Amino acid sequence: MGKDTRPKGKLVRLFGENIFESPKFDKLLAKRNFPSGQHGTNRKRAKVSGYGKQLREKQKVKFTYGLKERQFANYVEEASKKTGDTSQFLLHYLEARLDNVVFRSGLAKTRPAARQIVSHGHITVNGKKVDIASYRVRVGEIIGLKPAVLKSKLYEGAAEAMTKKDAPSWLAVDAKALSAKVVNEPTLVNPNFDANAIAGFYSR
């Protein structure tokens, strides 16, 4: 299955949540927190079956992290083979993606933007260029910008953005150096999705 091309605003309204973590979608939901369409205002969010909930949660996470079906299924499969809580391993794999870490640090405003600057070779890990968005960061690694792009207009406001960004506790941000260090295992403390439901979907 290819990438979903529906406008992000429609997806946000479909789920009734700001799954992309962008302020502009908070404003959208404040005004139009109902599914898009001609009769959207009259549509209630219908109750769904157990399978329907699992499918919905899976789709929500795929859209949030911008993953294709095979990519996401591989993460779930890997997590399910681990001894322990499958949902926690899944959360770790998603949050430890390099494009997500770049987004969490504030170096990019959105995950798609983070993925783009990674693929363009602007990002370094411990001083070495890494252009693979799915690269899994490790504790102790420092994510930063390649020296050649530090003075690029693209990053003129990056230091201020990183200062304002509410970074997770596992990431130590150094706005002055335009870098961030992974100080603990990446995870989500209060995820806006049910990881157990997702694991259940793929175990059917």
Q: Which pLDDT score, from 0 to 100, does residue 136 have?
A: 98
Q: Give the pLDDT confidence of 140-171 residue by residue, as tens digits.
A: 999 999 999 998 999 999 999 999 999 999 99
Mean per-residue pLDDT, 185-204: 81
CB 58 within 8 A of CB 76: no
Q: What is the pTM of this model?
A: 0.80
So where are the chain's domains? 1-46, 51-96+190-204, 98-182
- Tell me which CATH homologous superfamily contains domain 51-96+190-204: Ribosomal protein S4/S9, N-terminal domain (1.10.1050.10)
Q: Which pLDDT score, from 0 to 100, does residue 157 have?
A: 92
Q: Which pLDDT score, from 0 to 100, does residue 37 have?
A: 55
Mean per-residue pLDDT, 170-177: 97
1 band by pLDDT with thresholds 50, 70 and 90: very low
Q: Give the pLDDT confidence of 13-62 residue by residue, as tens digits.
A: 666 666 666 666 555 555 555 555 545 555 555 566 677 878 888 888 88
Task: Give residue for tokens 């979903």.
Answer: 4
Q: Which pLDDT score, from 0 to 100, does residue 17 have?
A: 66
Kindly state the tokens that stand for 118. 């990674």
Burial of residue 10 (number of CB atoms within 10 Å: 0-12, 13-18, 19+): middle
98-182 shares the fold of 51-96+190-204? no
Range 98-182 classified under CATH 3.10.290.10? yes
Chain mean pLDDT for the chain: 84
Give the range among 2-16, 81-95, 163-177 with minimum mean pLDDT: 2-16
Q: Which pLDDT score, from 0 to 100, does residue 4 have?
A: 57
Point out which residues pair with 124 in neighbouring strands.
129, 144
